[in-house]
Every structure is written in C-alpha cells, then in structure tokens.
Amino acid sequence: MSGARRIWLTGASSGIGAALAEQLLADGMRLVLSARRVEPLQALAARYPEQVLVLAGDLSDPAQVREIGEQIGQQWGALDGAILNAGTCEYIDAQHFEAAMVERVLRANLLSAAYCIEAALPLLRTGEKPHLVGVASSVTFLPLPRAEAYGASKAGLRYLLQALRIDLAAEGIDVTVVSPGFVDTPLTQQNDFAMPMSWSAEKAARHIAKRLEKRPSEIAFPGPFISILKLLASLPMHLQLALGKRIARSEQNTTDSKDAR
C-alpha cells in the first residue's frame, strides 16, 4: 500500500461520500475519512484496516478541522488528494424567510470547505500530483425555487474552487468541481418534489471515480440533465422567471397532494 494515493474524503458517512469511499478503497486508495457520524467510518476501517484513517469531527468548526489536518500530517505526512464532499440542504420558505437558515447552510457547505482547504493545502503541497476536488451542485447552473440557501452556498463553493484553480496552477495543484444532478441519498429522500434523471449514489460514485484520474476542470452529470439546465439558463430572464414560477406551483401542488394523504 506504500504507493497508493493518499486522499482525504469528507462527508463520507452516507450518500455520495460513502459510495465514493467504497469505490476508491476498492481501487486501492488510502483514505482519511471525515464526517460527524463516526460509526459508518469505523465500519469501513474495519473492512479496510490498512487503507483507512478515521478522523471524525464537525467540519463547520475550524478548530476541529485544524486538529484533523494536524493529525493527517502527523500520521501520513502529506496528501495526494482532498475530496470535499460534506454538506447539507435546507429549503427556504419565502413567506417566512430565515437568515439563520442561510447561515447554517453556508457554514455547512461553503465555510466548512474553506476550513478544509486551509488544512489540506499544506499537505497537498508535499504530496504526489496533488488534486483538490469539491462537490458543488448542478443547481448552480439555474436558479430554482426554494433553493436560495443551498444554491448560494454551492455557487460560492464553485467560485472559490474556480478561482483557486488559477492561483494554484503554478504549484501544480489541479482543481476539479463536481456538479451532480439529483442523486438518491438519505438527504434527497426527504425532498417533496420530483427528481428527474436521478442516479443512485453508487452510480454517481463510479462516474466520479472513473474521471478523477484525468483531473478535469469539471465532472457534471447526468449529461442530458446538465445540458437542459444550461440551455434553460441561457433563456432571457423573464422566461427563466416564468419557468421558475411554474416549477414552484408544481412543487406546491405536490406538497399539497402529499399533505392530503
């Protein structure tokens, strides 16, 4: 295992993160696994004892993230990759707008990633062919109803990574933005609306892992869904507004129907 790539994967306890951990471990990678819930991480460590280092914690707490970074440095000395996947989603009710919700989601999706980047960069600089990867979202391509907090956090993450790609290029650190469409995870299973072209977490993980080796600037999927979003985003703003209002009405009808049952 001495020649295996050393990767820090966050949000590894469920969903895409857990499936991606399985895939990368099967491919022979060595992983630092981080998430709040330690039990799923320990289960993976029990199955792959020579490949897994469990460093659980609250990634929205900068002190805990710094401690995780220090432990990685002490035990591994360096990182070859960091995949920042941890995050959450909450939907806004514009009739009862809650700034605290925006703050929670930004802290979970954007600030936690920034804390991890701060901890990871010194380790990546001493690694082999360093690669920084962040999981954003396809929602950043088109504004959607109720997704204000989630979309803002992921759009911020996208911009952060794209700007870092420029600044880190001279150091040979590649940066990839991952933009999934709908993926069936414990988080998205709480959605009260249709999720077109949804993929399983396992399919998403295979797709991501297969493309990471080529270090593309972006991994976005499913292709047809992304193409539709980008096409709709190119429409004049008044048409985008009309589309958004139609989607909002459709979501409200779906919610009302479920409530009636």
As a whole number of angstroms, the distance between CA 105 and CA 179 comes to 17
As a whole number of angstroms, the distance between CA 116 and CA 85 comes to 11
Interval 98-106 mean pLDDT: 96
What pLDDT is stored for residue 252 in this prediction?
A: 63
- The amino acid present at 169, given as its one-letter code, is A
83 domain-assigned? yes
Mean pLDDT across the chain: 92
107 domain-assigned? yes
pLDDT digits (tens, 9 = 90+) for 50-64: 999 999 999 999 999
What pLDDT is stored for residue 258 in this prediction?
A: 42
134 domain-assigned? yes
What pLDDT is stored for residue 194 in this prediction?
A: 67
Count H helices and E strands in the chain, helices first.
9, 9
What pLDDT is stored for residue 29 in this prediction?
A: 97
pLDDT digits (tens, 9 = 90+) for 169-185: 999 999 999 999 988 87
253 domain-assigned? no
Residue 103: count of CB within 10 angstroms of its CB: 12
- The amino acid present at 73, given as its one-letter code, is G
What pLDDT is stored for residue 51 in this prediction?
A: 97
Instruction: Point out which residues pair with 135 in neighbouring strands.
Output: 178
Radius of gyration of the chain, Cα coordinates, nearest whole angstrom? 19
Residue 151: count of CB within 10 angstroms of its CB: 20
Which is nearest to 226 in space by CA: 165, 160, 136, 163? 136
Contact 208, 219 (CB under 8 A): yes
Reply yes or no on whether the pLDDT at 256 is more than 60.
Answer: no
What pLDDT is stored for residue 261 in this prediction?
A: 30
- For residue 260, what pLDDT band results from cuts at 50, 70 and 90? very low
Domain containing 76: what range?
A: 6-234
Higher pLDDT among residues 120 and 187, named by residue: 120
b/e burial code for range 227-251 (CB count within 10 A of at least 16 → b): ebbeeeeeeeeeeeeebbeebeeeb
| Chain centroid to CA 135 | 3
Residue 229 sits in a domain whose CATH number is 3.40.50.720
Q: Which letter does DSSP use for residue 219 in this model?
A: E
Higher pLDDT among residues 9 and 195, named by residue: 9
What pLDDT is stored for residue 45 in this prediction?
A: 97
Length of the chain: 261
243 domain-assigned? no
> Which residue has 């999981």 as its token pair?
135
Domain count, the chain: 1
As a whole number of angstroms, the distance between CA 155 and CA 150 comes to 9
242 domain-assigned? no
187 domain-assigned? yes
182 domain-assigned? yes
First to last CA, the chain: 54
- For residue 257, what pLDDT band results from cuts at 50, 70 and 90? very low
